[in-house]
Amino acid sequence: MMRDITLGQYYNTDSVIHSLDPRTKLTLTFGYLILIFLISKMWLFAFAAAFIAVVTILSKVPFSMVLRSLKPMRWLLLFMFVLNLFMSRSGEVLFKWWIFELTTGGIRQALFMTFRLLLLVMGTSLMTFTTTPIALTDGLEKLLAPLKKIGFPAHELAMMMTIALRFIPILLEESDKITKAQLSRGADLESGNIIKKAKSMVPILVPLFISAFRRADELAMAMESRCYHGDEGRTRMRVLTLKKCDFTAFLVFALVFVSVLLLQNLMAF
Amino acid sequence: MAEIVIKNLTYVYSDESGVALEDISLTINSGEILAIVGHNGSGKSTLAKHMNALLLPSSGSVTVDGMDTLNDEYTLDIRQKVGIVFQNPDNQIVTTVVEEDVGFGPENMGVPTEEIIERVGEALKAVSMSDYARSAPHMLSGGQKQRVAIAGVLAMRPEVLILDEATAMLDPKGRQEVLNIVTKLNSELKMTVVMITQYMEEAVIADRVIVMHRGMIVKDGTPKEVFANGSEIEKYGLELPPMAQLRDELIENGVDIPKDALTIEELNEALCPLLQKS
Amino acid sequence: MSIVAEKLTYVYLENSSNSNVAIEDISIEIKQGEFWGIIGHTGSGKSTLVQHMNALMQPTSGKITVDGLDPAEKKNRAAVRRKVGLVFQYPEYQLFEETVLKDIAYGPLNMGYDTQTAYDMAREAMTLVGLNAARFENKSPFELSGGEKRRVAIAGTVAMRPAYLILDEPMAGLDPRGRKSVIDMLEKLRRETGCAIIMVSHSMDDIAACADKVAVLNKGRLVLCSSVDKVFSDTLKLRSMGLDVPQVSLLAEKLNESGIEMHNAIYDIEQMKAFVLERIGSRR
């Protein structure tokens, strides 16, 4: 069976981190991103790394999985590293060839940017490992709710995300089926140049779009018949409530945040 | 209890493609199982969608417990009282977790959280899907998905349940599952059921059968009355349920069995003495 | 000339912890001109089996050949797909062209025929499936009724003149008249083109109405494979596999319980009628 795509990269287990309110996790991840961008001294990344390590242990997500989340980013990381290596020229010149110049400042900058990116990706991955997409959607809707006053469609956006999550597996299966059907009618999807290949996708895309529209139409009718009429007067089955552990999490993070900034400003090195 | 009264209902498609329903008058009594049969395009689904204000009459009226569907103040109340389960199980489940989907209707109605949870539990139990409360809908079988869809309607505590060809895309096992639930809801909760179907054997379990043809009701009676005459049913693009076909064939050949036998039990009863006598 | 499967096995996600055997050890021979029914409940492996016949899936182990061609070799796959036409469930959802004629001609064009020949083949296919070519060819497939769309989709495969035509649940979702006309159409197709027809279904009534031979799949295995008479005589076994037994069979079972003996399997109305008349007649 296909891996359950609606769960994204959610790692199903029971942990303190999993049980945190999605709003807490979204807010803290955001705070964490800010912190990473505020850090200007290399050794302070050790704090951030330690923080991530502790959260990973608490979340019971295997370290190997967190590291694997970096894999799709490896080319970007390498690119950023090389770019920074030669772009910033300060400090002692170690090596020079043609227009390339390797400086101690360059090495420092390259390492710095790489660490920053690494920590960034690991932090956000931890959030998606420990929160289901549907919980994230809920959390996002609640966090964005105040913006409704200025006309921001927070509820509609969340509803769209929910429906998208629901229909992604259905449409994937459907595109697989249509592809097979056209293959059995002798469709050639592999040979030829780009234009020919794009053309050969038409018999797959047209039915897929038609089907998606038909489904949307039927779903709209089904939702309407179940009294859906937008956000007005709507209650929720799952109410998000902040628990003690959420407050503890905020407190711990605030401590980390403040102490890192204090260290950064007080220490001379 | 809910009673749906339809008077001289005519519905014309907005895109000039013609009259879908013509001068239909029908009263659906509370507590009955009503089957609506008819070939593709006979107007049966269009009729069903009028019963909970998804479509509004071009002329004539539809009232649910005295509430006119044309009055939009009543729309939500009508939809709460009359729930529809549609044909394609995939296109009516909204969220990615079964129990949340079942709670979707009550959420829209503004039911307090505590009560939603209670209703969802009850509804899932009524369709024997409690074990799947936390499952993802796309991992379920067709029959299970339709049961979730029924639970989604039940959680709104409706008085009328409409199945708009809800078994058409299911395999025999799934179809049986859905039918069992529906007959149970009717007998235990006195739920009124309107069952639109292509399968004549499903219509046999109803208290009353309506045959539609070209947007009109051409027959209305008990299954025994409606399926008494094969040639007439065939004229409307339908066929008799298998046991009625057999019955007619036998009677035609001079076998003495009741003219209104419809079920396997009835035929067994009628044939046994004839075949046993030796 | 035949489709031969030998110990065909297919395993999903072979090297994974949640691997799943879809079909196992299936051996079957389908000869040209035969009419086969393949039945089994949802998830019994029916679809997996027929996709192997059309080279859309390749076996994990075992072998399948079509008229001696082995689709395990990539170069044979196009030829296999020409010989074996596969009509999926709800095939009308695959229509995409502007006109009925163009849609049906898609297969022949892919086979390399020039436009004129492909259109001629498409028109011929329309006649075979009972669509009036002159009336329908320039219509958009999307403005047709459900039953007509299905015919167009089936014609799309018939136009490729397959020697074996596989249809996955061709009657699904149709009303009684539509179901009947599909059965008539399949019989006409076989009569006029001589192609073998393999119909996948979970309705034994539909299969009883037209097939000569039946293969029953259960949990990925071929459990019964014989003439319709033989297979349908074992209603208890079929029911235990979650299959829908014809109502006439259920009646026969009931009568049997009441002590009325039957020598042959009775699963359709004609047989039951003949049986009852014979019994009563012999006593008169």
Q: In whole angstroms, what separates CA A123 from the centre of its chain?
A: 10
Mean per-residue pLDDT for C125-146? 91
CB contact under 8 A, A237 and B156: no
Instruction: Please tell me the distance from the alpha carbon of residue C153 to that of residue A151, in angstroms, as a whole number.
Output: 47
**pLDDT surpasses 70 at B2:** no
**pLDDT surpasses 60 at A3:** no
Q: Which residues of chain C does CATH 3.40.50.300 include?
A: 2-243
Residues of A in contact with C106 (CB under 8 A): 182, 185, 187, 203
Mean per-residue pLDDT for B134-151? 91
CB contact under 8 A, C258 and B268: yes
**pLDDT surpasses 90 at A64:** no
**pLDDT surpasses 90 at C42:** no
ipTM for this model: 0.90
- Measure CA of the first residue to CA of the last residue in chain C; give whole Å: 51
Q: So what's the pLDDT on residue A228?
A: 93
Q: So what's the pLDDT on residue A72?
A: 80
Q: Name the packing angle between helices B142-154 and B113-126 (round to 10°).
A: 140
Greater pLDDT, A219 or A7: A219
Q: So what's the pLDDT on residue B81?
A: 94
A5, A227, A231, A240: best mutation site toward chain B, by most B Cβ within 10 Å?
A227
Contact B83, B52 (CB under 8 A): yes
Q: Name the packing angle between helices B264-276 and C247-257 (round to 10°).
A: 40
pLDDT band at A2 (very low <50, low <70, confident <90, very high): very low
Contact B44, B21 (CB under 8 A): no
**pLDDT surpasses 60 at A174:** yes
> A19: Cβ–Cβ under 8 A, 6 or more apart, which residues?
A243, A245
**pLDDT surpasses 90 at C1:** no
Residues of B in contact with A215 (CB under 8 A): 88, 90-91
How buried is B27 (Cβ within 10 angstroms: 0-12 exposed, 13-18 middle, 19+ buried)? exposed
User: For A5-23, how does the pLDDT look when each residue is reduced to its tens digit (9 = 90+)?
Assistant: 556 678 888 888 998 999 9
Instruction: Please tell me the distance from the alpha carbon of residue A132 to that of residue A123, in angstroms, as a whole number.
Output: 16
Greater pLDDT, C189 or A195: C189
Contact C85, C165 (CB under 8 A): yes
Instruction: Please tell me the distance from the alpha carbon of residue A121 to that of residue C243, in angstroms, as a whole number.
Output: 51
**pLDDT surpasses 60 at A229:** yes
Contact B30, B39 (CB under 8 A): no
Q: So what's the pLDDT on residue A109?
A: 87
CB contact under 8 A, A4 and B83: no
Q: Among A27-41, A96-110, B103-117, B193-207, whose mean pLDDT is lowest? A: A96-110
C175, C184, C262, C269: best mutation site toward chain B, by most B Cβ within 10 Å?
C175
pLDDT band at C15 (very low <50, low <70, confident <90, very high): low
Interface chains of chain B (3 or more CB pairs under 8 Å): A, C
Closest CA in chain C for residue A186: C110
Instruction: Please tell me the distance from the alpha carbon of residue B85 to that of residue B197, in angstroms, as a whole number.
Output: 12
Q: What percent of chain B has pLDDT over 90?
A: 68
- Count of B-C CB contacts under 8 Å: 102
Calculate the average pLDDT of chain A: 87
Q: So what's the pLDDT on residue A268?
A: 66
Report yes or no on whether pTM surpasses 0.90. Answer: no
Residues of A in contact with B152 (CB under 8 A): 226
Residues of A in contact with C91 (CB under 8 A): 181
One DSSP character per residue, chain A reads ----GGGTT------HHHHS-HHHHHHHHHHHHHHHHH--SGGGHHHHHHHHHHHHHHHT--HHHHHHTTGGGHHHHHHHHHHHHHH---S-EEEEETTEEEEHHHHHHHHHHHHHHHHHHHHHHHHHHHS-HHHHHHHHHHHHGGGGGGT--HHHHHHHHHHHHHHHHHHHHHHHHHHHHHHHTT---SSS-HHHHHHHTHHHHHHHHHHHHHHHHHHHHHHHHTT--SSTT---SS-----HHHHHHHHHHHHHHHHHHHHHHH---
| Alpha-carbon distance values, C179 to A98, B40, B260, C176, C203 (Å) | 78, 11, 26, 5, 11
User: For B51-62, how does the pLDDT look when each residue is reduced to its tens digit (9 = 90+)?
Assistant: 999 999 999 999
pLDDT band at B277 (very low <50, low <70, confident <90, very high): low
Contact C269, C248 (CB under 8 A): yes
**pLDDT surpasses 50 at C145:** yes
CB contact under 8 A, B111 and A225: no
Domains of chain B: 4-223 (3.40.50.300)
Overall size of chain A counted in residues:
269
Domain boundaries, chain A: 1-144+241-269, 157-229
* Maximum average pLDDT range among A14-23, A63-72, A193-202, A220-229: A220-229
Mean per-residue pLDDT for A202-223? 93
Cβ–Cβ contacts within 10 Å for residue C113, how many?
A: 17
**How close is the nearest chain B Cα to the Cα of A234, in Å?**
5
Q: What backbone phi and psi angles, to 5 degrees, belong to A224?
A: -60, -40
Of the candidates C81, C93, C110, the beta carbon closest to that of A207 is on C93
Calculate the average pLDDT of chain B: 91
Q: What percent of chain B has pLDDT over 70?
A: 98
**pLDDT surpasses 80 at A211:** yes
Mean per-residue pLDDT for B129-144? 90
Q: What fold characterizes domain C2-243? A: Rossmann fold (3.40.50)
Mean per-residue pLDDT for C235-242? 80
**pLDDT surpasses 80 at B15:** no
Q: Which residue, C153, C182, C33, C26, is CA-closest to C88?
A: C153
pLDDT band at A145 (very low <50, low <70, confident <90, very high): confident
Helix (H) or strand (E) holding C141: none
Mean per-residue pLDDT for A212-235? 92
How buried is A195 (Cβ within 10 angstroms: 0-12 exposed, 13-18 middle, 19+ buried)? exposed
**pLDDT surpasses 70 at C9:** yes
Q: So what's the pLDDT on residue A1?
A: 34
**pLDDT surpasses 60 at A4:** no
Mean per-residue pLDDT for B36-65? 93
